[in-house]
Amino acid sequence: MTPVQDTPPTNPLRDPQDRRLPRIAGPCGLVLFGVTGDLSRKKLMPAVYDLANRGLLPPGFSLVGFARRDWAHQDFAQVVHDAVKQHARTPFREETWKQLAEGFRFVSGSFDDDDAFERLRRTVGDLDEARGTSGNHAFYLSIPPGAFPTVIGKLKEHGLAQPAGASWRRVVIEKPFGHDLASARQLNAVVSDVFSPESVFRIDHYLGKETVQNILAFRFANAMFEPVWNSNYVDHVQITMAEDIGIGGRAAYYDGIGAARDVIQNHLLQLMALIAMEDPASFDARSLRLEKQKVLAAVRVADRLDLASARGQYSAGWQGGEKVIGYLDEPDISRPSRTETYAALRLDIENRRWAGVPFYLRTGKRLGRRVTEVAVSFKRAPHLPFAATATEDLGHNAVVMRIQPDEGVTLRFGAKVPGTAMELRDVNMDFAYGGAFVESSPEAYERLILDVLLGDPPLFPRHEEVELSWQILDPVMSWWAEHGRPDHYPAGSWGPDSAEQMLARDGRTWRRP
């Protein structure tokens, strides 16, 4: 069979440094472990199709599924087809589908099945010949964390992890990256024994969101904000990831993990690092990583965690006009479970820029609404030459970056109410992505998968960041484990009273998004 053309025609006028032009992956393939899971069906397979539909994958791209199902290649193709039809962001095009589907293969087997990995090795070799993938393959481990060492060991044992010549082999690992510092270090040791650091991509899908990346543009491209982005002007920062859903069918994963390990250790600490970091020398992976690591290394957890942390568990209540059950009544949750579904922390960054500015992080399930945002609240003006009654409704100036669902940025400031009296009130100036740009934002997994295939790692945390994050969270988890059970909060509320008291002790209140 004649190999498929593996690279698109080159443009002699194209500047490889011009990021305005689309970046197109070279010859390569993706091996997907865990193709039967929700993540693969709802996010990964549709993202691969959307990339192909946008012309960002090479014509000979291949997708290999690995699972225990007794499927033929055409059965796997049907699974991908159904996932794409239901969840893809871009329109379904028959010509795109036909070209993509020619590169689909399926290997049946378990994670410890040597025969299956030998079949996978042969399949990858056949694709190099038939599809022109040139020995370039990424292995995406969309599997339970406990299976990482087994799969990575088998990839090494069967020669799948070692590239030949100028080709590359990469591994993609989904969070969680361990459940504490010791397990994270153990996992990093297993991975680094097989893959070089630049070949390991730890996926945090939040870092692939356009609005998260816009934090960097907002801070470093606009001269009006950076001069006040420090403790001289900022009063405090609130970072919120709230969900209005319960755990659904994730009891097996979630119980014992909890909100802090699931969200704070990765998503929220990464957001905090982007908000607080110094300007990097450039936007290459190394420069970004170094600045984020400096922030995480400077984070201090309060000595009195009873005053600087809060945790809760949702109980029965009303959500969206429906009566919903509490966490302990969810299927497959043990009655004495102490797993928190709400977590809040006060963290301080001990460096010149942020000394004295508290960062409040919170996340929870069954809260008032679904929202992820970063709110930077500024200090009040040192002198207000107005009557006290004129400013009684005036709060703090704020910059609110909305990550989801209504992506954009809001500026809150004081303005005069129309009329003869001097009365001031807070008003909002709003920027919405949907209203400012015609092109819709790609899904986070589109960006991240493409970055893996390109070997471009700026948005992926390295093991140093992962370990620093666990160093921050481990003392909190240990303290919670020794001090009773989480407080209860009714579904549909904004969390337990202890979280409100945590800010009240500092003379502040949580935002109501």
Exposed/middle/buried for residue 505 (C-beta within 10 Å: 0-12, 13-18, 19+): exposed
Q: How far is Cα 63 from Cα 94, in angstroms, rounded to an integer?
A: 18
Q: How far is Cα 185 from Cα 193, in angstroms, rounded to an integer?
A: 12
Q: How far is Cα 212 from Cα 210, in angstroms, rounded to an integer?
A: 5
Q: How far is Cα 6 from Cα 185, in angstroms, rounded to an integer?
A: 38
Helix (H, G, I), strand (E, B) or coil at 106: strand
Q: What is the 3-state secondary structure (H, E, C) of 400-451?
A: EEEEECCCEEEEEEEEECCCCCCCEEEEEEEEEHHHHCCCCCCCHHHHHHHH
> How many Cβ atoms sit within 10 Å of the Cβ of residue 223?
7
| Residue of 137, 205, 267, 396 marked active site | 267
Q: How far is CA 486 from CA 85, 258, 327, in A?
A: 42, 11, 12
Residues 187, 200 contacting (CB under 8 angstroms) = no
Q: Residue 371: beta bridge partners? A: 242
Q: How far is Cα 118 from Cα 136, in angstroms, rounded to an integer?
A: 18
Q: How far is Cα 406 from Cα 284, in angstroms, rounded to an integer?
A: 29
Residues 331, 505 contacting (CB under 8 angstroms) = no
Q: Which two tokens stand for residue 33?
A: 């472990």
Instruction: Classify residue 468 by its DSSP letter.
Output: H
Instruction: Classify residue 86 by its DSSP letter.
Output: H
Q: What angle do CA 504, 349, 468 make, to 5 degrees?
A: 115
Active site residue 73: no
- Which residue is it, tokens 């040139």? 134
Q: How far is Cα 281 from Cα 284, in angstroms, rounded to an integer?
A: 8
Residues 424, 449 contacting (CB under 8 angstroms) = no
Q: What angle do CA 457, 297, 218 make, to 5 degrees?
A: 55
Q: Which residues contact 492 (CB under 8 A, 6 or more apart)?
A: 244, 317, 318, 319, 320, 324, 366, 367, 368
Residues 116, 110 contacting (CB under 8 angstroms) = yes
Q: How far is Cα 464 from Cα 185, in angstroms, rounded to an integer?
A: 9
What's the distance, Cα to Cα, between the start and end of the chain in Å? 58
**Which residues belong to the active site?**
267
